[in-house]
Amino acid sequence: SARAEEARPGYHFAPARNWNNDPNGLVYYEGEYHLFYQYNPYGDRWGHMSWGHAVSRDLVTWQELPVAIPETDVQAFSGGVVVDWNNTSGFGKDGRPPLVALFTGHNTKTRIQSQYLAYSNDKGRTWTTHGKVLDIGSTEFRDPKIFWHEATKRWVMLTVIAAENRVLVWTSGDLKSWTMASSFGPTGARGKNWECPDIFELPIEGGKPGEKRWVLAISLGDSSVNGGSGMQYFVGDFDGQRFTLDPSWTGDPQWLDWGADYYAAVTYNDLPKSDPRKIAIGWANNWRYANLIPTYPNRGLMSLPRSLSLHKTSEGYRLYQAPVAEAEALRRDHSSAEGLKLGEASQPLPVKGGRAELVIDLDTGSSQQVEIAIKDAQGYQTLVGVTAPTGEVYVDRTRSGPSFHEGFPDRHIAPVDLKGRKVKLHLFVDESIIELYVNDGARTITDRFFRGGGELSWSVSARGGEATIETLNAWTLSDPRKK
Ligand code: FRU
């Protein structure tokens, strides 16, 4: 339908057609960022899971490639990829390291899930499946995330036992034979499933020089903070075998994102030594309604790549997220303003169309609520707001397009530190997705939205008093698919 195509995002990656879910095997090799993903080559609903594949040289322009790992007697569920620099697996060729993938083979008949190995000697273009390497006879054993642990000089793999809300840690010298090292969970937020675990080390911003911690990120299939699927993280230590929670942990779940559409995010392996970042990509969807979202000819979408950092705050260690700086290359038509007084009368914002970035320093003043409205020609609207008295930022999509699932229309609230009434909003809109980064990424809200038709128009207003936009910077963003 023309309507669905109109709402198709431009600078967020999605395959040209059909269904996709989780990002898989994020790895950098020889100038290319690889993005593999759960893909159905035959339809626009979940099924026939295979690994789709795209590559990028700049994290914003993606080229879709043929299916990397097809469905065979097992479906190829989520997993990870590493560059096996020292050829520990023996799958290298002509002195060059192989890319090695560990993925879950889901046997459609028995429902047994076990871990499979595949490798590539041609920069991820074609893959040879070596076969099954780890089977514990479980139907809930999935989502291997693998990486090289420098201190112990071993490979580490995380998997889940999904229904038990457990993460298992495994180690290996050759990526083929794996020994179980420890188990973590259940704790924090629990639900039907824990999925897609990841673990990575980050320096502490605002900590002692050289201070670092490990972050364990886990996707929760249902029961998340703003409904359905979401992500939580734990901060602690990891010695190559076992993750231990930091003594500062209070037991309260820490949510990675406060919207409804950020799931299964994992980080890149093997970024160049000159790049100290941890970069994650998530699936911008929610299992509650993922199979029903009104998009065509594809269903599923990736988030912007995000750079992660860990901050020492009065409440404990907190994960912050920022859009990668590479996204600045999308900026066109800059406009700015200062000292913009806001009141009941809504004022137009200097952005046009469906692809925009806004950076706003807001003083909420005496107002009860400041609200940005993104409206279409049919009267549908998506709202981004700040409620000063309660210290909340929200995305309201209760009227974001024709209805298709009861779980979709909702208001997603994140608590924020208003620092004496002030808040910084960094907003990305791409036709039918919003990514909102609040106070330098201390909070994020990621939500799809839909519409009835026509151009989007942008305005802002304040209720219950006066507020001031201290500075506003706005850009229209280009669509890298149309270069
Ligand atoms: C997460 C997930 C994974 C699984 C994959 C199947 O969204 O359920 O646990 O490997 O999707 O497509």
Give me ligand 1 centre to Cα 24, in Å. Answer: 10
Instruction: Tell me what ipTM this predicted complex has.
Output: 0.99
Give the mean pLDDT of 355-365: 98
For 131-187, the pLDDT digits (tens) are 999 999 999 999 999 999 999 999 999 999 999 999 999 999 999 999 999 999 999
For 74-93, the pLDDT digits (tens) are 999 999 999 999 999 999 99
Q: Which secondary structure element, helix H or strand E, spans residue 3, and what is its range? A: helix 2-6
> Ligand 1 test: best mutation among 103, 141, 196, most atoms within 8 Å of CB?
196
In this predicted structure, the answer to whether residue 372 has a pLDDT above a threshold of 90 is yes
pLDDT of amino acid 483? 59
Q: CA distances (Å), 388 to each of 233, 366, 393, in order? A: 27, 9, 8
Quote the percentage of the chain above a pLDDT of 70: 99
In this predicted structure, the answer to whether residue 426 has a pLDDT above a threshold of 90 is yes
In this predicted structure, the answer to whether residue 2 has a pLDDT above a threshold of 90 is no
pLDDT of amino acid 453? 87
For 329-338, the pLDDT digits (tens) are 999 999 999 9
71 in contact with ligand 1, CB cutoff 6 A? no
Instruction: Say if CB 246 and CB 222 are below 8 A apart.
Output: no
| Stated pTM of the model | 0.98
> Ligand 1 test: best mutation among 20, 21, 103, 285, most atoms within 8 Å of CB?
21
Q: Nearest-CA neighbor of 427 among 391, 386, 390? A: 386
Instruction: Say if CB 54 and CB 39 are below 8 A apart.
Output: no
143 in contact with ligand 1, CB cutoff 6 A? yes
pLDDT of amino acid 482? 81
Give the CATH superfamily of 14-325: Glycosyl hydrolase domain; family 43 (2.115.10.20)
24 in contact with ligand 1, CB cutoff 6 A? no
Domain locations along the chain = 14-325, 331-477
Q: H helices then E strands: how many in the chain? A: 1, 34
196 in contact with ligand 1, CB cutoff 6 A? yes
380 in contact with ligand 1, CB cutoff 6 A? no
- CA dist 214 and 207 (Å) reads 14
> Ligand 1 test: best mutation among 51, 143, 266, most atoms within 8 Å of CB?
143
Atom of ligand 1 nearest to the CA of 78: 10
CATH code: domain 331-477 is: 2.60.120.560
- What average pLDDT does the chain have? 97
pLDDT of amino acid 419? 75
Q: Nearest-CA neighbor of 230 among 239, 221, 238? A: 221
Give me ligand 1 centre to Cα 355, in Å. Answer: 30
- CA dist 290 and 287 (Å) reads 5
In this predicted structure, the answer to whether residue 6 has a pLDDT above a threshold of 80 is no
